[in-house]
Each structure stands twice: as C-alpha cells, then as structure tokens.
Amino acid sequence: MLQAYEATQERGLWVTTPEEMRAGFARVHSFGFPVSVHAIGDEAVRAAFALLPGHPLDRIEHLQILRPEDTIGLGPDSPVASMQPLHLLDDRVQADQLLGERGAGYYRLASLQARGVRLSFGSDAPVASFDPWLGIQAACLRRRSDQEVPWYPQECLSRPAALHAYTRGACDSLGWQRAGRLEVGALADFCVVDRSPLECPWPAQVRVLRTVIGGKCCFSS
C-alpha cells in the first residue's frame, strides 16, 4: 500500500519487487508472451500499470485498490483488468476497518469501464463462489441483499457491462476470438437460462435449462 493501514504501521508486502517485475516482464515479452501479474494494494497496482503493457494481452489480476489519479491515462490499450467482483463483498468489512475512506478505491469497476479499460471477470474459486450470477450481482449492486447499503455505488456497473466482462471480455482477454459470443463461426459453447439475466430481480435466481459444449448438449434439466 502507498499508505499504512488504519491504526497500524503496516503497508503490506511485495512478493515480487518492482525491479524484479521489470526484469521478469521484459524476459517474458522477449519471447512474445503476455504477462499476468497479481496486484492488490494501490502501490502494487500503480507499479503494474507503469511496467505494462508490452503485449496486447498483458493483464493485471485482482487490481483491487486503485487511486483516482492512477486512472488518468488508462484506456483500451492498458493491461486487461482481470477482476473478481465477489471479492468486493467478501472484503467489505475488513476494507472499511483497514482503509477507512480509502476503501472508495476498492474495485473501481465503473471508473475503469469509463476509461475504456478492458474488463475480464472471473471467480478466483475456490476462494470465492464460482457462480457467475452472484458475481454479476456484486458488480452491478455492490451489496448482497436489499437490506445492505451499496458499497460505493458510484462504481456499480450496468448489467450488460457485467455480463460482457464475464463472457466476451473474459475470452477476448485470453485471445480467444471464437469464444464468448453468439455469432456465426464462433464455438458453440453456451447455456440456455430460464429468464433474462438483464431483467430478472436480484438476488439472481437464474436457472440453467441447457448447456451446449461444442455444439452438443451436455446438460438438460
């Protein structure tokens, strides 16, 4: 972290120092490969953005705490923001305790989207539930139920944006141009659900009716 946690002198730790990252990233890029780097604290996230991109598919995993000034200059050519929306709800209480008002920097989903940064959502299972409907709910509402107040609601995403990040956005971030979309010529991997996830009430109770993989039905309820 750029600053110590509330009521402590701790700022977290570097598993890999910026100097080590710089050398490692250069070596990976020299072979033509993209880099995937974990960064959680605001100082780590700042360093990751400064050292990347060097490849169009470079990505930052988690990207949990981002200072507002560090969003300036970000855009479609920035590293992919590979994020797990459920973590913002899992960490909410601890973040408020340890960060205070700096918790506003936690999962700046709407801010990143507004800058055109490519979003790729996942679960980080088994750390969090792999249920994508819960993740979409977290990204769009930033609360678990109607009894909770949304956590920094200015960072809520629209449902189409969240669904895109879980499907086409996730596949594009890996260079899978034939996946994550319903188009002629795309891989026939999809599911049929009993209601529109863009319109159903929350909490989501979406039921999968059929799953098709490679054009073949592998599940039917």
Q: Which domain holds residue 39?
A: 18-178
* 196 closest CA partner among 159, 143, 156, 158: 159
* 49 and 135 part of one domain: yes
Tell me what pLDDT residue 218 has: 97
pLDDT at 119: 98
Position 66 scores a pLDDT of 97
Contacts 24+ apart (CB under 8 A), 182-188: 187/214, 188/212, 188/213, 188/214, 188/215
Query: For the chain, what is the domain count?
Result: 2
- Evaluate whether residue 155 is within a structural domain: yes
Residue 52: the pLDDT is 96
Q: At 46, which CATH number?
A: 3.20.20.140
2, part of any domain: no
One digit per residue, pLDDT tens: the chain, 221 residues?
Answer: 999 999 888 999 999 999 999 999 999 999 999 999 999 999 999 999 999 999 999 999 999 999 999 999 999 999 999 999 999 999 999 999 999 999 999 999 999 999 999 999 999 999 999 999 999 999 999 998 888 999 999 999 999 999 999 999 999 999 999 999 999 999 999 999 998 888 877 766 789 999 999 999 999 99
Helices (H), 9-99: 18-30, 42-51, 86-90, 92-99
Confirm whether 8 is domain-assigned.
no
Tell me, what's the pLDDT at 204? 66
Q: Is residue 97 part of a domain?
A: yes
User: Do 200 and 118 share a structural domain?
Assistant: no
Give pTM, 2 decimals.
0.94
